[in-house]
């Protein structure tokens, strides 16, 4: 299981390869939020999302002989790009299994980062069978997106940075808001902060209609989403909390926060105008929660923006619907 020692080991392996993203802020956003608000922009990470951290952590920990045969992943988005680039930087092959109707830009980027992309039909084909066959034939190692201790450890390095950067600013208490799908990111951050910033409270953040983690934390068992797609926040939509991540979240996370798609778009527009960063709607749900649902939060909030891989048309929509 992932613990602080694993996260610190991942941090050491990531050193010199990962970007240390800054903490940003704006008096304009503080005013909207009604509190001191910091943003950790993981959209500025390699491949445009935090997923690069977990991918690097898992790949760099493999036995060299096993690693040399290559890795495989299932993903329609950010995890795909993270695994593809981390594999290329290790000089090994990667195969990414993606639904053929995934956003064009994400498929093209994954290819451009050096992966072999295998497309499948979500309705007619069994992606696990396709992946298992390829993995066996070629001796590839599966890199899971969140239910994998080494991946959680890699995502947790974001939490180490938050703890350090907050300490530099003299912050001893804060609510930390994290966009959450399967829960790998928020689990890693929670474990890091438990050890390094015990006064911090972590809230998973989700889009309305896909609030499986929030409901699961409330009920004490893993709840499923009714729908599997249909949110602008596609990057963080998963069927239910992970098997490995749910116990971590149950132990360490406070209540979940839920925002509408429109609030996520509003946060995208404000991040453009006030922070000069590009955030995808799913990556902006924690910022949206801080801005529009902060009532129960303390004086200082740190909102993580998890990714920035947004198509231009969605971005334009955010600017159109939410002019300054």
Q: Given the rule CB under 8 A, which residues bind a copy of itself?
A: 16, 19-22, 24, 27-28, 41, 43-44, 48, 85, 105, 109, 112-113, 168, 269, 272-273, 275-279, 308, 312, 315-316, 319, 323-324
How far apart are alpha carbons 45 and 81 in whole angstroms? 12
- Measured from the CB atom, the residue of 142 and 273 that comes closer to a copy of itself is 273
Q: How far is the CB of 278 from a copy of itself (least distance, A)?
A: 4
Smaller CB separation from a copy of itself, 48 or 182 = 48
237 contacts 225 by C-beta, under 8 angstroms: yes
Q: In terms of CB distance, is 43 or 248 closer to a copy of itself?
A: 43
The torsion of the CA quartet 95, 55, 140, 91, rounded to 10 degrees, works out to: 80
CB of 319 to a copy of itself, least distance (A): 5
DSSP summary character for residue 142: E
**Residue 312 CB, nearest approach to a copy of itself (Å):** 5
CB of 205 to a copy of itself, least distance (A): 19
CB of 287 to a copy of itself, least distance (A): 14
Tell me how far apart the alpha carbons of residues 140 and 66 are, in angstroms, rounded to a whole number. Answer: 8
Contact 71, 143 (CB under 8 A): yes
Q: How far is residue 275 from each of residues 44, 140, 294, measured CA to CA in Å?
A: 12, 40, 19
Q: Which residue in 245, 236, 176 sits closest to 210, CA to CA?
A: 236
Is 248 or 269 the residue whose CB approaches a copy of itself more closely?
A: 269
The least distance separating a copy of itself from the CB of residue 53, rounded to whole angstroms, comes to 15
């Amino acid at each position: 299981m992932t613990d602080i020692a694993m996260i610190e080991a991942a941090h050491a392996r990531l050193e010199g390869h990962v970007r240390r993203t800054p903490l940003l802020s704006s008096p304009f956003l503080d005013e909207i939020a009604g509190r001191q608000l910091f943003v950790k922009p993981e959209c500025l990470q390699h491949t445009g999302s935090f997923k690069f951290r977990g991918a690097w952590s898992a790949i760099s920990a493999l036995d060299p002989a096993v690693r040399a045969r290559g890795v495989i992943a299932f993903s329609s988005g950010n995890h795909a790009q993270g695994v593809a680039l981390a594999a290329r930087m290790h000089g090994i092959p990667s195969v990414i299994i993606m639904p053929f109707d995934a956003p064009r830009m994400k498929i093209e980027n994954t290819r451009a980062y050096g992966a072999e992309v295998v497309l499948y039909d979500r309705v007619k084909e069994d992606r696990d069978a396709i992946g298992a066959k390829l993995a066996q034939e070629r001796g590839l190692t599966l890199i899971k997106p969140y239910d994998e201790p080494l991946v959680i450890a890699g995502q947790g390095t974001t939490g180490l940075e938050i703890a350090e950067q907050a300490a530099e600013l003299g912050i001893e208490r804060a609510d930390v808001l994290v966009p959450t799908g399967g829960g790998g990111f928020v689990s890693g951050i929670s474990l890091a902060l438990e050890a390094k910033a015990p006064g911090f409270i972590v809230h998973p953040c989700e889009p309305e209609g896909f609030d499986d983690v929030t409901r699961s934390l409330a009920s004490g068992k893993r709840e499923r989403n009714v729908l599997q797609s249909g949110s602008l926040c596609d990057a963080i939509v998963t069927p239910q909390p992970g098997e490995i991540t749910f116990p971590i979240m149950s132990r360490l996370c406070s209540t979940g926060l839920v925002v509408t798609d429109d609030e996520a778009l509003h946060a995208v527009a404000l991040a453009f105008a006030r922070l000069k960063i590009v955030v995808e709607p799913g990556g902006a749900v924690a910022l949206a929660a801080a801005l529009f649902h902060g009532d129960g939060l303390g004086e200082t909030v740190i909102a993580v923006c998890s990714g920035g891989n947004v198509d231009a048309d969605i971005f334009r929509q955010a600017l159109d619907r939410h002019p300054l």
